[in-house]
Amino acid sequence: MLFFPNCKINLGLKITGKRADGYHNIATVFFPVPFNDVIEIIDSKEHSDEIEFTQSGISIVGDQKDNLCIKAWQLLKNDFPKLPSVKLHLHKAIPMGAGLGGGSADGAATLLLLNQKYLLNISETQLLSYALQLGSDCPFFIINKPCLGSGRGELLQPISLNLKGYQLVVVNPGIHVNTGWAFSQLNLDANTVNDNALTIESLSNIILGDMVNWKDELKNDFEQPVFEKFPAIEVIKNTLYEKGAVYASMSGSGSTVFGIFKENKIPHFNFPSNYLVFTKLI
């Protein structure tokens, strides 16, 4: 059985405080983007109560046991002991450390795929709970519709955001931005929990207003420190605006930058050949 987990971009990203539990409160809009990894799950003949994981495409750095696909299987195996051993193959196309949520998408997709394939009858509410155990933005990929995100990112409110007729240009320069480092640059007071209801309301008003105002009003708090350390990322954003983007921003903690263009207004770009550049009609 195949699944094609998609990535996401952040439309605005405000970090409103550091919490006592070590996480941060955020206010953002998650928006799904049809650029996909591929996951295949088949039954294993080994009957070993284990998951056999293989991978192709972009190489994944790090210990395999930390992969969110494996962790997702283990979560369900703990609660559903009769879940059989499986072979899971991940083809990786979404770059990592890029602010696109590719790893989170893969983990959430594994939950959805196992639930469907093995008829576990797990409710959406339960799936969201499992997803949160994998990572703060994993629950979004269970819903996978435009959502206002708050709390750690797990408090999700679907919104009617219609960008039909716009073209999305996504540019990744192959720079890996460590999320922990990015948060450390924001100099937030430790052990503070801010009520970000007003920030969410303000964000909602901006998003549902005229897009021509987004350039001045819709900000990503990570841009300043990331641009200072990696000037090439800021160059991408400036280039997108110079080429006519209605709105351009870095996604998440970087390094991916996206631009929203009017339909049939996509210019020619001369980004370096090692950059990943793709265009999607929203």
Residues 143 and 188 in one domain: no
In the chain, what percentage of residues exceed pLDDT 90?
74
The token pair that represents 245 in the structure block: 């983007």
Residues 91 and 219 in one domain: no
Do 5 and 105 touch, CB atoms closer than 8 A?
yes
Residues 122 and 34 in one domain: yes
8 is catalytic: yes
User: Domain ends where: 125, 158, 191?
Assistant: 158
Task: Give the pLDDT confidence of 104-131 residue by residue, as tens digits.
Answer: 999 999 999 999 999 999 999 999 999 9
pLDDT score of 139 more than 50: yes
Residues 127 and 96 in one domain: yes
21 is catalytic: no
DSSP 173: -
How many domains, the chain? Answer: 2
Do 214 and 247 touch, CB atoms closer than 8 A?
yes
Residues 77 and 128 in one domain: yes
Specify the pLDDT at position 112.
98
Specify the pLDDT at position 191.
47
Specify the pLDDT at position 47.
66
Specify the pLDDT at position 194.
52
User: Domain ends where: 158, 175, 203?
Assistant: 158
Residues 252 and 172 in one domain: yes
Residues 143 and 193 in one domain: no
How high is the mean pLDDT of the chain?
91
User: Domain ends where: 158, 185, 215?
Assistant: 158
Residues 59 and 142 in one domain: yes
Selecting among 8, 14, 77, 237, the annotated active-site residue is 8
In the chain, what percentage of residues exceed pLDDT 70?
95
pLDDT score of 192 more than 80: no
d(CA 206, CA 188): 24
- The angle formed by the CA atoms of residues 92, 250 and 174, to the nearest 5 degrees, is 40
Specify the pLDDT at position 196.
63
Longest dimension (CA), the chain: 58
The upper half-sphere exposure of residue 251, i.e. CA atoms within 13 Å in the direction of its Cβ, equals 30
In this predicted structure, which of 90-99, 191-200, 222-231, 267-276 has the lowest mean pLDDT?
191-200
What domain range includes position 29? 2-158
Do 136 and 28 touch, CB atoms closer than 8 A?
no
pLDDT score of 60 more than 90: no
Q: Which residues on neighbouring strands pair with residue 89, listed in sequence order?
A: 40, 54
Residues 23 and 70 in one domain: yes
Residues 181 and 150 in one domain: no
Mean pLDDT score, 21-39? 92
d(CA 55, CA 267): 35
Phi, psi (degrees; rounded to nearest 5) at 54: -130, 160
Do 98 and 63 touch, CB atoms closer than 8 A?
no
Specify the pLDDT at position 188.
67
Closest CA to 96 of 88, 87, 108, 104: 104
What is the identity of the amino acid at 20? A
Residues 40 and 148 in one domain: yes
Which of the four pLDDT bands, split at 50, 70 and 90, describes residue 222? very high
Specify the pLDDT at position 65.
82
DSSP 253: T
What pTM did the predictor assign? 0.92
d(CA 22, CA 131): 19
d(CA 37, CA 110): 12
Closest CA to 68 of 26, 96, 99, 28: 96
What CATH number corresponds to the domain at position 117? Answer: 3.30.230.10
By DSSP bridging, strand 147-150 and strand 24-36 are antiparallel
Residues 152 and 216 in one domain: no
Q: Output b/e per residue, 156-176; b: 16+ Cβ within 10 A.
A: beebebeeeebbbbbbbbebe
Specify the pLDDT at position 92.
97
Which of the four pLDDT bands, split at 50, 70 and 90, describes residue 239? very high
Specify the pLDDT at position 63.
81
Selecting among 37, 106, 137, 221, the annotated active-site residue is 137
Q: Where do the H-state alpha helices sit in 164-230?
A: 179-184, 197-207, 214-217, 223-229
The full length of the chain comes to 282
